[in-house]
Amino acid sequence: MQVVKSYLNGEGSQSAISKKYKLRSRTQLMNWVRKYQKTGDISDLRGQNGGNNGLKNLLKGRPRTKFDSMEEELEYYKAQVAYLKKQYPNL
């Protein structure tokens, strides 16, 4: 945030501020400035579950099968194994 404010206050050129704050390139500075001007913030939410990413992953794919008891679950898996054995008898 300090880097962006330094640039916007006219404390130096892109290159000078990039060197002062030891940024890898002035492109990074310009990306931060653009983001700050657009949203007023430059927070990086990657890896912090920023948004509904967790919820979206839960809703993908087939609905989960729910079992009332362990016996019911066991019967379900036995039926799956029997089906697969019938489909692939050579394995």
For residue 73, name the pLDDT band (cuts at 50, 70, 90).
very high
Residue-number span of the structural domain to which 71 is assigned: 2-44+66-87
DSSP state letter for 14: H
Residue 58 lies in a domain: no
Residue 61 lies in a domain: no
In angstroms, rounded to a whole number, what is the distance separating the alpha carbons of residues 76 and 1?
A: 56
Residues 7-52: pLDDT tens digits? 888 988 988 989 898 988 889 888 888 888 888 877 765 665 555 5
Q: Is the pTM of this model over 0.75?
A: no
Residue 59 lies in a domain: no
7: how many CB neighbours lie within 10 A of its CB? 22
